[in-house]
C-alpha cells in the first residue's frame, strides 16, 4: 500500500514538473494574440502586420484582434486574456498605476515592449462649422472616441483640464470611422481622433466634405502637457493631408505615444525575440502602414511605464539604452 502511495506521489510530482515547469522561460507559447483597435485607425493594420511578421518568423502563431482599443487592451492583457496589445501612453500609465478608469480594478500587471509611434489628437469639424476653438464645443454634440478607448481617455483628460466636462457637451462614443460618418452626415458637430498621420478616417471624410481642425492655443497645450506628463506638444503639418479642403495650415495639437504592451510574466527570451523580429522586419511593416517609419530605437524607449526585461535586453544590445 505504501509503495502504491509512493508511486502515485512520484507520478503527480513528475506530471506537475512536465506541465507546469518551474522555469518560466520553458513555457511554450504556440498561439499568441495582439489586440489592436477599430478598423478605421492605425492599430488594426499595424497590429495585423506585426502578427504576420511574427508568425512567418515562427515565433508563434500570432493573430491580431480588433477591439475597443487602449483601455480595453490594457484590461485584457492585464487579465491575461491576450499576450500583447497596442495602447496609448496615458491608458498604459493609468493601468499600471491603478488610476483613472483602472482605479476600481487596481494596478494591472503589464509592461511596455516599446513605443511604436506618436499620435496627435485630431479635433475635427466641417469647414462651415461655427466651432473655432475648444471653448466653442460647449453645448455641441461631440464624438469623444469609442467608449473605453485611448482617444476617449485622452479627450476627457484634455477637456476637463480646459474646463469642459461631459455635462457641458453632448458626448457621443464613436469609433474613428463612425466619427467620420457622423461628421459627414451632421449627426455630430465635432470629433476627437487620437490617431497617427495620415488617418484613413480623416482621408475618407475629406474626400466627401470640406473639413478643418480645431487648433489649441499654446496656453491650452501647456496646461494639458503640464498636468499629464505622457502628453506632448506636437504639430499636425499642413502637408499631412494634401488635397483635402480646409487642412491648409499647421495645427498646434497635443500628442501621445502608442505603446506595444505585454503581460508582465511573459518569458524574457520570448519578448526579446518578438521585439528583435519586429525591428528586423521594419520594412515589411512599412509596407503595411507608413507609420512604421516612426518605429525607431530612439522613439521606442519613450515609454510611460517600466519596460519588459526582454525588451530592455534588445535595446541595450543595439545601444538605444545604456
> What is the CATH classification number for the domain harbouring 69?
3.40.190.10
Closest CA to 43 of 188, 177, 234, 233: 177
Using alpha carbons only, what angle is made at residue 201 by residues 151 and 63, rounded to the nearest 5 degrees?
75
Q: Are residues 124 and 224 in the same domain?
A: yes
Low-confidence ranges of the chain (pLDDT < 70): 1-27, 243, 245-248
pLDDT score, position 52:
98
* 8 Å CB contact between 155 and 121: yes
What spatial distance separates the first Cα and last Cα of the chain, rounded to whole Å? Answer: 61
Q: Are residues 215 and 179 in the same domain?
A: yes
User: Is 12 a domain residue?
Assistant: no
**Grid cell locating 21:** 515547469
pLDDT score, position 11:
54
User: Is 1 a domain residue?
Assistant: no
Structural domain of 306: 30-117+258-317
Q: Are residues 87 and 158 in the same domain?
A: no
Q: Are residues 218 and 207 in the same domain?
A: yes
pLDDT score, position 40:
74
pLDDT score, position 116:
96
User: Is 2 a domain residue?
Assistant: no
Q: Are residues 146 and 52 in the same domain?
A: no
pLDDT score, position 185:
96
Q: Are residues 185 and 253 in the same domain?
A: yes
Split into its structural domains, the chain has a count of: 2
User: Is 44 a domain residue?
Assistant: yes
pLDDT score, position 3:
58
User: Is 5 a domain residue?
Assistant: no
| Among 227, 257, 287, residue at a domain's last position | 257
pLDDT score, position 245:
58
Q: Are residues 174 and 200 in the same domain?
A: yes
Q: Are residues 253 and 263 in the same domain?
A: no
Q: Are residues 112 and 125 in the same domain?
A: no
What phi-psi label fits residue 267: left (phi over 0), alpha (psi between -120 and 50 degrees) or beta?
Answer: beta
pLDDT score, position 236:
87
User: Is 238 a domain residue?
Assistant: yes
Q: Are residues 296 and 246 in the same domain?
A: no
Q: Are residues 279 and 240 in the same domain?
A: no
Q: Are residues 146 and 196 in the same domain?
A: yes
DSSP category for residue 25: G
| Among 240, 257, 274, residue at a domain's last position | 257
Integer angstrom CA distances of residue 208 from 66, 183, 201: 26, 11, 12
pLDDT score, position 192:
97
CB atoms within 10 A of CB 130: 8
User: Is 276 a domain residue?
Assistant: yes
User: Is 168 a domain residue?
Assistant: yes
Per-residue pLDDT tens for 131-164? Answer: 999 999 999 999 999 997 889 989 999 999 999 9
pLDDT score, position 16:
44
pLDDT score, position 142:
98
Amino acid at each position: 500500500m505504501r509503495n502504491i502511495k509512493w508511486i502515485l506521489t512520484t507520478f503527480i510530482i513528475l506530471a506537475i514538473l512536465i506541465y507546469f515547469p518551474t522555469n518560466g522561460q520553458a513555457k511554450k507559447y504556440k498561439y499568441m494574440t495582439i489586440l489592436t483597435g477599430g478598423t478605421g485607425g492605425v492599430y488594426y493594420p499595424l497590429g495585423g502586420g506585426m502578427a504576420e511578421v511574427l508568425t512567418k518568423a515562427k515565433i508563434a502563431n500570432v493573430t491580431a484582434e480588433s477591439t475597443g482599443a487602449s483601455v480595453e487592451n490594457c484590461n485584457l492583457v492585464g487579465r491575461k486574456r491576450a499576450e500583447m496589445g497596442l495602447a496609448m501612453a496615458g491608458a498604459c500609465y493609468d493601468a499600471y498605476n491603478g488610476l483613472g478608469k483602472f482605479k476600481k480594478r487596481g494596478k494591472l500587471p503589464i509592461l511596455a515592449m516599446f513605443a511604436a509611434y506618436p499620435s496627435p489628437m485630431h479635433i475635427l469639424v466641417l469647414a462651415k462649422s461655427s466651432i473655432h476653438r475648444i471653448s466653442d464645443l460647449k453645448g455641441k454634440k461631440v464624438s469623444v472616441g469609442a467608449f473605453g478607448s485611448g482617444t476617449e481617455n485622452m479627450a476627457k483628460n484634455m477637456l476637463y483640464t480646459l474646463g469642459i466636462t461631459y455635462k457641458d457637451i453632448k458626448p457621443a462614443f464613436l469609433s474613428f470611422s463612425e466619427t467620420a460618418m457622423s461628421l459627414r452626415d451632421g449627426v455630430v458637430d465635432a470629433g476627437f481622433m487620437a490617431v497617427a498621420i495620415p488617418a484613413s478616417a480623416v482621408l475618407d471624410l475629406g474626400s466627401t466634405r470640406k473639413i478643418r481642425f480645431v487648433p489649441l492655443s499654446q496656453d491650452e497645450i501647456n496646461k494639458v502637457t503640464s498636468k499629464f506628463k505622457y502628453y506632448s506638444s506636437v504639430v499636425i503639418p499642413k502637408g499631412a493631408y494634401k488635397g483635402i479642403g480646409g487642412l491648409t495650415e499647421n495645427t498646434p495639437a497635443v500628442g501621445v505615444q502608442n505603446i506595444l504592451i505585454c503581460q508582465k510574466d511573459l518569458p524574457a527570451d520570448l519578448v526579446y525575440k518578438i521585439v528583435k523580429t519586429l525591428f528586423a522586419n521594419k520594412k515589411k511593416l512599412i509596407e503595411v502602414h507608413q507609420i512604421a517609419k516612426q518605429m525607431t530605437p530612439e522613439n521606442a524607449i519613450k515609454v510611460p511605464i517600466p519596460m519588459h526585461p526582454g525588451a530592455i535586453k534588445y535595446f541595450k544590445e543595439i545601444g538605444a539604452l545604456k
